[in-house]
Structure 1
Amino acid sequence: MLDIAEELERWSRQGREFAVATVVATNGSSPREPGAALAVDSEGEAVGSVSGGCVEGAVYALCEQALADGESVVERFGYSDEDAFAVGLSCGGVIDILVTPVDARSPLREVFSAAYAAAVEGGSAALVRVARGPAGLLGRALLVRADGTHEGGFGGAPELDRTAVAEARAMLDAGRTGAVEIGADGSRCGEPVTLLVESSVPPPRMIVFGAIDFASALVRAGKFLGYHVTVCDARPVFATRARFPGADEVVVDWPHRYLSATRDEGRLDGRTVLCVLTHDAKFDIPLLELALRLPVAYVGAMGSRRTHLDRNERLRSVGVTEGELARLRSPIGLDLGARTPEETAVSIAAEIVAARRGGTGVPLAGAHVPIHREGAGVA
């Protein structure tokens, strides 16, 4: 639901009544991930999507019904020969949808409004909702902030609230959205309750080292993928805002010194990607010596095969282990036959997506690999 937070925050401010349908769980080749949402207001306006078009009409009708009767409901949509092109998923997947009405009298309205505001402001918070469980709990919600404080709750179930807060903080730390199953009393036993945890976190960071023409194209690709993009170079004549107008930050500093300071400030996490485009040993070696020891998602370095071999030897000479070297994506990018800066940026971006989602990088046509991978992280 937080993927359409900006629109829902506006609806909430305007006092509109609406219902939200949210993907709770997926199986097989489902087009959207948990957290994807479609909302319908009392005038029939709709925003968002839960299936890329397969079941939107049926889900729209469920939202209208929820607005009429005020009841939350969970519905499953899946592929079958009979209804593949009716309300089933013709792509062959299965999705579970939680539909929740948010009218003027709903106790959820205040919690949801706080969640929308946190998402729009770029803060860290997790919205937790009961997606499956006892009828009295279905759809109930609480909002958990990064410091552990929370708003809302599950209606007089303090142990369930405490467990939900702990689970949400763990998901929030990882920037993940997904379902968690616990007991209705907050333990791991008893009647099961499925919680949907939707994390709203600042965008992941991409740091591009080397203010070259390839970096300009990569900045645009990184922004397209939703990253907060920083360009860093020690040469002030190249690292300018005029050369990189699309970057969120342009920093003039030695790359390894900037990366060290960024680490010390707590601005790196497990979603961060580092792209080293300098292919100059005096910049690359101290930078990569540090980068390969950080718990980031991706470290890639540009250069020819010869540069790659020479760089590896230099890194070994300063104490980088074989295990650490194995984390380095070099030469950077997938084999697309790229030549131009824009093509190279696509190659690098494709490798980043493959690393994030567990993809192989092989063509889907003729390949016996899943199009969507279950269990891949959502950021």
Structure 2
Amino acid sequence: MLNIAETLHTWCLAPRPFALATVVRVTGSAPLPVGTSLAVDTDGHAAGSVSGGCVEGAVYELCRQVLDEESGPVRTRFGYSDDDAFAVGLTCGGELDILVQRIDPAHQPPLLHGLLAVATGEPAAVAQVVDGPPHLIGRTLSVSGHAPSLNGTLGGEHEDQAVVAQIRAHLAASRTGLIGIGADSATCPERLSLLIHVNAPRPRMLIFGAVDFAAALSQAGAFLGYRVTVCDARPVFATAARFPYADEVVTQWPHRYLETASLDTRTAICVLTHDAKFDIPLLTRALTLPVAYVGAMGSRRTHQERIRLLRAAGVSEEHLARLRSPIGLDLGARTPEETAISITAEIIAHAHHRSGTPLTRSDGPIHPTHAPPAPMHH
């Protein structure tokens, strides 16, 4: 639901009842992940998507029905129909379980609290019951990351404590996903399935080297949802005017900036200076950090010399193996814009443990069931 958090927050403040359809289970290939939502308000306005178009019409009508009849939550499944190519279903061959529920903002303060945190940019998580006893389905609990506190209840202290521990773990990992609790005396006598929606701060992209390639890459990174920093030791080049898509432009020696930068396991580090006096101190540090990606620009000759200097600086073979250099996928890129696409394509492929091979030359699933989440803002 956090893909439409700002719209839902506006509807909650109105307050305006709406129907919320959420993807709670995906089997096989499907265009959108678990947690994605479509909502319909009492005026028939729609926001979001659950399938990228395949079953939107049917889900929209189901939302209108649930909203008009003021009925309880409805869970339904959509899949591919072999008998009728034009039947409502997923032509991609996957299956989606959709939970549709009526939301009355006046009686859903936990949901409102979670949406407010997301709308104001705070890290937050909302747990939504998607399977279990009928009186609990659709109920929500929310936790804000800056000042962790529980909003909402499942009706019992044991259940709430068990869910909050899971919510905080998912929030720390920046991961949306399903959990199961209950069926034991320590938590809850009845089995519950909850979908934890997580809104994490934007992942960071650190671009070192205030060059034309950095300008194009900062635009591509911003488009993908990264919080982009451009850093260069030369003040004449490191200016905000040259990098309008960057969230910040820093004038500092790269390795010194990296020593104090706030990073996490989603961070992408792109070194575009191809100047040893900047690159070697920077990469010596960067390759030891628990970040998602470290890439460096340069020719193959530059790469070989860079590896020699890094070894001389004491960088281990294990850490050297993490370096993506020359940076980017082999797309034949020449212009800064093409090179930015090459680099971001490699970052995406690396994040999902994929090869970057054209889909026409592969026969595996396009969207693996257990693929790790992409490092994009929800």
TM-score normalized by structure 2? 0.94
Say if 2:346 is the partner of 1:351.
Answer: yes
Aligned to 1:5: 5
Hey, what's the Cα distance between the residues in 1 that align with 2:204 and 2:248? 11
**Any conservation in 1 of the 2:158–2:187 contact (CA below 8 Å)?**
no
* Deviation for aligned residue 1:18: 0.3
Q: 1:188 to 1:94 in 2, by over 3 A?
A: farther
Give runs of aligned pairs for residues 1-379 of structure 1, distance below 5 A: 1-67=1-67, 68-82=69-83, 84-106=85-107, 108=108, 110-146=109-145, 147-155=147-155, 157-184=156-183, 191-262=190-261, 267-375=262-370, 376-378=372-374, 379=376
Q: 1:289 aligns to what SS in structure 2? A: helix
Q: Distance in 2 between matches of 1:188 and 1:78?
A: 34
Q: Separation in 2 of the partners of 1:184 and 1:18? A: 32
**Aligned-partner Cα distance in 2 for 1:62–1:347:** 42
Please give the TM-score of this superposition, normalised by the length of structure 1.
0.94
RMSD: 1.6
Change (3 A) 1:85 1:115: farther
Deviates further, 216-225 or 60-69: 60-69
- What is the rounded CA distance, in whole Å, between the counterparts of 1:186 and 1:10 in structure 2? 40
**CA spacing shift, 1:74–1:84, aligned 2, 3 Å:** farther
- Name the SS of the counterpart of 2:181 in structure 1: strand
Residues of 2 paired with 1:66 and 1:115: CA distance?
A: 23
Per-residue deviation, 1:329: 0.7
- Which stretch has the larger CA shift, 180-189 or 219-228? 180-189
Q: Is the 8 A contact 1:23 1:35 kept in 2?
A: yes
Distance 1:22 1:57 in 2: 14
Kindly tell me: are residues 285 and 190 of structure 1, through their superposed partners in 2, closer, same or farther at Cα, counting changes over 3 Å? farther
Report the CA distance between 1:64 and its aligned residue.
1.6
Tell me how far 1:104 sits from its aligned partner. 4.8
Query: Residues 129 and 184 (structure 1 numbering): CA distance in 2 closer, same or farther, change over 3 Å?
Result: farther
Superimposed CA distance per residue, residues 215-236 of structure 1 (whole angstroms, 9 cap, x where no aligned partner): 0000110011011100000000
Deviation at 1:202, TM superposition (A): 1.2
Give the whole-Å Cα distance in 1 for the aligned partners of 2:153 and 2:61: 28
- Secondary structure of the corresponding residue to residue 242 of structure 1: helix
CA drift of 1:186 comes to 7.9
Deviation at 1:26, TM superposition (A): 1.0
Deviations 1:159-213 (A, max 9, x none): 1211111111111111111111222558589643211011111111101000000
Give the secondary structure class of the aligned counterpart of 2:359.
Answer: coil
Structure 2: 5+ residue stretches without partners: none
Aligned partners of 1:190, 1:270: CA distance in 2, in Å?
A: 37
Q: CA deviation at 1:85?
A: 3.0
Give CA-to-partner distance per residue, 1:277-331, whole Å, 9 cap, x none.
Answer: 0111111111111111111111111111111111111111222111111111111
Structure-2 separation of matches of 1:32 and 1:148: 29
Answer yes or no: is the 8 Å Cα contact 2:34–2:177 preserved in 1. yes
Q: Which runs of 5+ in 1 are unaligned?
A: none
State the SS of the aligned residue for 2:242.
Answer: coil
**What secondary structure sits across from 2:330 in the alignment?**
coil
